[in-house]
Amino acid sequence: MTDMIKMRLDTDRYLIKTENCQGHEIVCREYLAVPYVENPTAPDHQCLNIYVPVAVDGIDVNAEGVPIVFQNKISGYRSYSVTTEQRRTPRKTRFETPVAFPRIGPGEGIPGRMANAGALQFTPLLERCVLVIPGNRGKDNLMGGKWFGKAPAPIIDLKAAIRFLRFNKDRIPGDTEHIISVGSSAGGGMSALLGASGNDPEYEPYLDSVGAAKERDDVFAAVCISPIQDLEHQDMAYEWQYGRLPVHLPEGGVLPPVDREISSSLSELFEEYLNGLGLELRGGYGIFTPENYKEYHYREFIKPSAERWLRSQDKETVRVYLEDRPWIHWDGAEADFDFADYERYLGRIKRLVPFDTFEFSNAENTLFGSEDEPAAHFTEFSIRHCMGDSADISELVKAQRRLINPFTKLREGTGRVAQHWWIRNGAKECGAAVPLLHILDSQLQQKGIEANFRFAWDKGHCAEDDRPEMMQWIRKITGQVNSCS
Ligand code: DHB
């Protein structure tokens, strides 16, 4: 048991800095590179930044009791360090080939996320929230020939950082009962996991080993932008959704041909999985089945997404836009299109198999593994395809995938679940399986939690088109009435 003294935030050790955000000037107190565990194995990564707004555009801000936005920077399950402010540029490890993401406009898809990350980073301060940016260990951490950031290290560090905030609740002006976890893509999956597994005892030994504070690690709300989650079912769900669709790669990109037999086998496994879940959909659609997915997804999410976007544009923009997309019928109030046309426009961008690749070339393979193994298979399907029918996932990897999967936690109910969820995705997502987002939403519904869930029209992975609304939502769920900018 650690004495925790080291973990006390030194409230005098801050810098006063001015940050610019969307044309506004924010003066804030910045606590930089604060260690959040007693026994760090990666001191540069296991530390966080805290930003406390002092004034916005010359008007003083009282940050006592405001929400704390806890914004993880995890991308591709890699480590992040606030000491070097690593940029979220897509890097690859020895075992990965770069994933091709089509560039479809500013702020859209993965490249846009990178470009936007800096501009949006300080939005919470503008909205009078405390902002916390944690560093974390990740799959790329290697020292003395040993890997030390494989699963579940990233989630252990995020939980330890939350515990650190609670440990210092009297020294930080924000309200630690109103911690809003935010993340996108792999970081969105981690945000969902924080939201699904508060105080879950299964993480305790790992938290003890890094010397995390003996505090709660549940969060009040989880913001999940294109969360990549339920990794053991991503391949199946991806092939079920995109298996028969055309390949849409940026110019110059090539994918190996999709093996129809493998794709269909995975797709069938997804149907089995979905049917076994017996989850209820929203709005009277009944149990979520392979048969009602398209109608549900179209009527409740995709059509409204298109309509919101079309309504928000001027007539000329809409005219030009629709000229290129004759499959969309728009009468000025309602949009209508065939789901098959929408699917063709989506296409697939990931190779077969997309996640647990046979040659360890995707981001997820290198999340798994051990100190000595840089990558591992994490699905029975892939390991058996590569190593024969009697091959099995190691006990270590089985434990890793449990600890990293919010669905396991939601299903087993061993953790405290955040009562507020914001789920966003691009309606032109083709890098991850969308049905899994509906499974997340339905699991939450089953627990009586109504997620705020929608799709940004014509945008890809990690797209959001309504961050101001998200901030309003944070004010609403935390009972803050102060409105600004
Ligand atoms: C991320 C993207 C991926 O395509 C993936 O498989 C895992 C993670 C990411 O950007 O975080």
Atom 7, ligand 1: residue with shortest CA distance:
76
User: What is the pLDDT at residue 99?
Assistant: 40
**Greatest CA separation for the chain:** 67
If you ran DSSP here, which 8-state letter would residue 163 be given?
H
Answer yes or no: is pLDDT of 86 > 70: no
pTM of the model as a whole: 0.93
Question: Ligand 1 centre from 53 Cα, in Å?
Answer: 32
pLDDT over 90 for what percent of the chain?
Answer: 85
Distance CA 385, CA 353 (A): 11
User: What is the pLDDT at residue 460?
Assistant: 92
User: What is the pLDDT at residue 131?
Assistant: 97
Residue 16, class by beta-carbon neighbours within 10 Å (0-12 exposed, 13-18 middle, 19+ buried)?
Answer: exposed
Instruction: Please give all residues whose beta carbon lies within 6 A of any atom in ligand 1, as ranges.
Output: 75-76, 99, 110, 185-186, 228, 362-364, 431
Question: Ligand 1 centre from 76 Cα, in Å?
Answer: 5
Question: Ligand 1 centre from 230 Cα, in Å?
Answer: 13
Q: How confident is the model at residue 213 (pLDDT cuts 50, 70, 90)?
A: very high
Answer yes or no: is pLDDT of 201 > 90: yes
Contact 25, 58 (CB under 8 A): yes
Answer yes or no: is pLDDT of 13 > 90: yes
User: What is the pLDDT at residue 136?
Assistant: 98
Atom 2, ligand 1: residue with shortest CA distance:
76
Contact 419, 437 (CB under 8 A): no
Specify the ligand 1 atom closest to the Cα of 432.
4
User: What is the pLDDT at residue 89?
Assistant: 42
Distance CA 374, CA 250 (A): 29
Contact 429, 108 (CB under 8 A): no
Question: Ligand 1 centre from 364 Cα, in Å?
Answer: 8
Distance CA 325, CA 307 (A): 14
3-state secondary structure (DSSP) of residue 407: helix
User: What is the pLDDT at residue 254?
Assistant: 85
Token output for 462: 């990690």
Contact 329, 337 (CB under 8 A): yes
- Residues 18-43 have pLDDT tens digits of 999 989 999 999 999 999 999 999 99
Distance CA 122, CA 119 (A): 7
Q: Is the peptide bond before 210 cis (omega within 30 degrees of 0)?
A: no
User: What is the pLDDT at residue 108?
Assistant: 33
Question: Ligand 1 centre from 186 Cα, in Å?
Answer: 5
If you ran DSSP here, which 8-state letter would residue 54 be given?
E
Question: Ligand 1 centre from 66 Cα, in Å?
Answer: 32
Question: To which residue do tokens 């506004």 refer?
Answer: 24
User: What is the pLDDT at residue 87?
Assistant: 43
Contacts of 7 (CB under 8 A, 6+ apart): 35, 36, 37, 38, 164, 167, 168, 213
Question: Ligand 1 centre from 475 Cα, in Å?
Answer: 30
Q: How confident is the model at residue 117 (pLDDT cuts 50, 70, 90)?
A: low
Conformational region of residue 267, where left means phi above 0, alpha means psi within -120 to 50, and beta covers everything else: alpha
Question: Ligand 1 centre from 458 Cα, in Å?
Answer: 19
Q: How confident is the model at residue 253 (pLDDT cuts 50, 70, 90)?
A: confident
Residue 259, class by beta-carbon neighbours within 10 Å (0-12 exposed, 13-18 middle, 19+ buried)?
Answer: exposed
**Closest to 189 (Cα-Cα) out of 387, 436, 380:** 436
**Closest to 32 (Cα-Cα) out of 153, 129, 119, 134:** 134
Distance CA 205, CA 448 (A): 31
Q: Is the peptide bond before 152 cis (omega within 30 degrees of 0)?
A: yes
Indicate the top mutation candidate among 228, 233, 255, 362 to test ligand 1's pocket, ranked by most ligand atoms within 8 A of CB: 228
Atom 4, ligand 1: residue with shortest CA distance:
431
Question: Ligand 1 centre from 114 Cα, in Å?
Answer: 13
| Backbone torsions φ then ψ of 80, nearest 5 degrees | -140, 140
User: What is the pLDDT at residue 464?
Assistant: 85
Q: Evaluate the CA torsion angle 276, 282, 286, 292 in order and state its sign.
A: negative
3-state secondary structure (DSSP) of residue 454: strand
Give ∠ CA 73-309-228 in degrees, rounded to 5. Answer: 30
Answer yes or no: is pLDDT of 436 > 70: yes
**Arithmetic mean of pLDDT, 422-450:** 97
Specify the ligand 1 atom closest to the Cα of 101.
4
User: What is the pLDDT at residue 200?
Assistant: 98
Specify the ligand 1 atom closest to the Cα of 186.
11
- Residues 131-177 have pLDDT tens digits of 999 999 999 999 999 999 999 999 999 999 999 999 999 999 999 99
Specify the ligand 1 atom closest to the Cα of 74.
11
Answer yes or no: is pLDDT of 477 > 50: yes
Q: What is the dihedral of CA 134, 139, 145, 146, to 10 degrees?
A: 80
- Sequence letter at residue 322: L
Contact 218, 414 (CB under 8 A): no
If you ran DSSP here, which 8-state letter would residue 238 be given?
H
Specify the ligand 1 atom closest to the Cα of 462.
10
Distance CA 235, CA 269 (A): 10
3-state secondary structure (DSSP) of residue 181: strand
- Sequence letter at residue 12: D
Contacts of 322 (CB under 8 A, 6+ apart): 328, 330
Question: Ligand 1 centre from 195 Cα, in Å?
Answer: 19
Question: Ligand 1 centre from 102 Cα, in Å?
Answer: 14
Indicate the top mutation candidate among 80, 185, 352 to test ligand 1's pocket, ranked by most ligand atoms within 8 A of CB: 185
Atom 6, ligand 1: residue with shortest CA distance:
363
Contact 269, 290 (CB under 8 A): no
Answer yes or no: is pLDDT of 482 > 90: no
Average pLDDT, the chain: 91
Answer yes or no: is pLDDT of 85 > 80: no
**Arithmetic mean of pLDDT, 330-337:** 97
Q: Of 417 and 4, which is predicted with more confidence? A: 417
Atom 9, ligand 1: residue with shortest CA distance:
76
**Closest to 131 (Cα-Cα) out of 85, 190, 193, 63:** 63
- Sequence letter at residue 149: G
User: What is the pLDDT at residue 251?
Assistant: 80
User: What is the pLDDT at residue 1?
Assistant: 47
Question: Ligand 1 centre from 430 Cα, in Å?
Answer: 12
Answer yes or no: is pLDDT of 483 > 60: no
Give ∠ CA 359-363-365 in degrees, rounded to 5. Answer: 50
Specify the ligand 1 atom closest to the Cα of 362.
6
Specify the ligand 1 atom closest to the Cα of 355.
6
Contact 261, 418 (CB under 8 A): no
Question: Ligand 1 centre from 227 Cα, in Å?
Answer: 9
Contact 153, 171 (CB under 8 A): no
**Closest to 186 (Cα-Cα) out of 147, 254, 136, 143:** 136
Specify the ligand 1 atom closest to the Cα of 75.
11
Taking each helix axis from N to C terminus, what angle separates 231-242 and 260-277, rounded to the nearest 10 degrees?
120
Distance CA 371, CA 367 (A): 12
Specify the ligand 1 atom closest to the Cα of 185.
11
Token output for 454: 């929608």
